């Protein structure tokens, strides 16, 4: 994980910790010295039983706001959020 990824991940996890999110995937393995490879993405996982679609979306919104508040540009490329009927 490079410094920029580490900074963004720290911000995201600081606002998502109470929502049950953790670092996962290749970056988590690399941070614990299990593997040594760079990755372009950061995987944050949460227990699916802990969230409804609404609470998950609220967590994503909270993370986006935190990252944007310190100057990051956040682009949502996919969403399962449903529009009202």
Range of the domain at 11: 3-69
If one counts the domains in the chain, the total is 1
Position 80 in a domain = no
pTM for this one?
0.74
Position 34 in a domain = yes
What one-character DSSP code corresponds to residue 19? G
CA proximity to 66, closest of 10, 12, 4: 12
Give dist(CA 9, CA 44) in Å, integer. Answer: 9
Which residues in the chain come in under a pLDDT of 70? 32, 48, 80-85
The per-residue pLDDT for 83 is: 55
The per-residue pLDDT for 40 is: 77
């Amino acid at each position: 994980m490079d410094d920029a990824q580490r900074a963004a991940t720290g911000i995201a996890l600081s606002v998502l910790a109470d929502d049950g999110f953790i670092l996962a995937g290749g970056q988590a393995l690399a941070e614990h010295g299990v593997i040594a490879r760079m990755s372009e993405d950061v995987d944050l996982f949460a227990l699916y039983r802990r969230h409804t679609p609404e609470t998950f979306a609220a967590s994503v919104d909270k993370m986006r706001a935190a990252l944007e508040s310190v100057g990051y540009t956040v682009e949502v490329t996919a969403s399962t959020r449903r529009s009202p009927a």
